Amino acid sequence: MSTAPRRPTPRPAATAPAAPLFNRRQRLILAVLATGLGISSLALLLRPDSAPDTATALPAGVTATETGTAPTLTDELLPLDEPLLDVAETGPFLHTIAPGETLSELFSRHELDRATMQAVLAADEELLALDILRPGQMLVFDIDEQGSLQRLTLRLRPGHVVHYQRVDGDHFEFEDVRSPSEWRDYVFTGDIQGSFFLSARRAGLSDAEIARAQRILGEKIDFRRDLRAGDRFEMVVGQEVTDEGPTGHTRVEALRLQLGRRTVAAYLHDDSNYYDEDGDSLGRAFLRHPMQSQHRISSPFNLGRLHPVTGRVAPHHGVDFAMPVGTPVLTTGDGVVTRVGNHPFAGRYVEIQHPGQFKTRYLHLSRVLVRQGESVSRGARIALSGNTGRTTGPHLHFELHINQRPVNPMTAHIPTAHSVPAAQLAEFRQRVENLVASMDYAEQFLALHEVDTSGNDS
C-alpha cells in the first residue's frame, strides 16, 4: 500500500554510528538478547500494545483475569556497564511491525538482497507465517559481519516464535517454537435487547466470537427471527494463555440460548466439533477430499520429509494431489475465508476457518473464486487448481489444521460422525455437566448480586 520511497537507513560506520538505529527501549531489549536470555524473555518485557483484549466476564470459579497491559521496563533490568551499541553493527536487530510495513521494506533497510528474502520465504512455504505480518509482531534479524542474514526470528504472538535459520549459502530452514499453554474459561451472559450481535457485544464478547457462535448454532436457529427481547444467552469462552500472556486465541466452549421455554445449546467436544447436550452433532460432516474426482497423491503429509537439496528435515504440512490445472477445488467444510494470498512459493492460496478448531488451506491455485471474509458451505467451489508458486508440476497442496497445528488430512479425526461415539459419551456428558454448572452459576451470581454486565468490571 505504501509506495513512498523509504530512505534506507545506512549501516553505521564503525567509528561513528550516525543516526541511532534503535530507541532506548529497543537497545535495552538488544542488551537482554545479547546477554543470552533469548527471545522468550523478550516477550515478557515487550508485549505488543495490541495485546488481545481481555473481555469483562464473570469469573465463574475461574482464576483471575490477566490484563493485557505492557509491563514497564525499569532501569533495574539495565545491565549498567553493558556497551549497548556494540551489537548495533551486526545485530540482532529487533523490529516491531508497524501498520502497513512489509517484509521487503525491512529487508532492504538492512541491506539484505532479494535472493536472501526469497530463501527465507522458501523456508516459510509450509507455514506462511511471514506472508501476512501483523502490527505488533516482532522480527529479529541476526546479521553477521559480512552483512549476511544468519537467522530471522518472527514472534507471532505470546508463546509462539518461528526461527528461520541459515543452513547453507542458499537455504534457510524453519523451527516453529511454541510455549506450553492452557485454556482459561470465562462465562459471558446477557439478555437479548436488539440483535444477538449487539446483545452479545454488550456482554463483552468480541465480534469474532459472536460470529463463531452464530455459525455454531446456525443450522439450529435463525438468529434474526427466533430471538425475542428478554431471551437469555450464556457462553463459555476459553482463552489460551502461555507464560508470556494470552495468545489471542479463544474458543467457544459452550453456548446456550434460552428462547422462551425452548433451550438450544452447543458444547465443544475434544474432537473439536460441536454437539448438543445429547451428543448429536451440530455441524455438518467434513469432506475428506477437497475435490470431486479421484486424484493420485503425489506427495503425502510428512513431518519428517527430507529436503531434496539440503538433505535436512523440511516438513510437508499438507498432502499433494496431482491434478490438471483448472480442476475445481472444494472447501471440505462450512466456514469463512480467512486468507487469500499469492506467495512466491505457495502460489495463489486460500485459507478457510471452520467451526470448531479446524482450518484448511489450498495452495498453488490458478484461480481463486472466493473473497476474504466470505462464508462458504461444504463442497462449494472455492478455486481452480493450478501450478503457481514453486512446483514440480500441476497439483493441489491441501492442509488441515486442528487447534492451530497441521495434521494429516487423510487420517485425522474429522467430524464425519453424526453424534459423539458411544465410547466417549460418558466423558462428554461429564463435560457438559461442568459447563452447564458454570453457566448456571453465572446466572445465579448475576441474579443475587445484580452485577452490571454492560461492560464495566464487576
Three-state DSSP class for residue 96 = strand
Residue closer to Zn ion, measured from CB, 253 or 320? 320
Residues that contact Zn ion, how many (by CB under 5 A): 3
Shortest distance (Å) from residue 289 CB to Zn ion: 15
Residue closer to Zn ion, measured from CB, 343 or 397? 397
**362/319 Cα distance (integer angstroms):** 10
Residue with the CB atom nearest Zn ion in the bound state: 397
**295/443 Cα distance (integer angstroms):** 53
Cα dihedral 278/281/282/286 (nearest 10):
170
Residue closer to Zn ion, measured from CB, 204 or 318? 318
For the window 414-443, what string marks contact with Zn ion as x by the rule CB under 5 A? ------------------------------
Residue closer to Zn ion, measured from CB, 27 or 316? 316
Q: Which of 320, 334, 351, 443 binds Zn ion (CB under 5 A)?
A: 320
Shortest distance (Å) from residue 315 CB to Zn ion: 10
Of 67-75, 147-155, 263-271, 311-319: span binding Zn ion (CB under 5 A): 311-319
C-alpha cell at 192: 437479548
Q: Which of 397, 400, 415, 432 binds Zn ion (CB under 5 A)?
A: 397
Strand partners, 236: 187, 254
Angle (CA) 286 160 97, round 5°: 110
**369/364 Cα distance (integer angstroms):** 14
Give yes or no for a contact between 70 and 96, defined as CB atoms under 8 angstroms apart.
no
Residue closer to Zn ion, measured from CB, 249 or 397? 397
**55/185 Cα distance (integer angstroms):** 12
For the window 261-300, what string marks contact with Zn ion as x by the rule CB under 5 A? ----------------------------------------
Shortest distance (Å) from residue 357 CB to Zn ion: 22
Shortest distance (Å) from residue 291 CB to Zn ion: 15
Closest CA to 428 of 295, 289, 280: 280
Shortest distance (Å) from residue 299 CB to Zn ion: 6
156-175 burial code (b ≥16 CB/10 A, e <16): bbbbbbbbbbbbeeebbbbe
Shortest distance (Å) from residue 131 CB to Zn ion: 16
**412/358 Cα distance (integer angstroms):** 11
Of 46-54, 81-89, 319-327, 345-353: span binding Zn ion (CB under 5 A): 319-327
Shortest distance (Å) from residue 322 CB to Zn ion: 11
Residues at the contact surface with Zn ion, assessed by CB under 5 A: 318, 320, 397
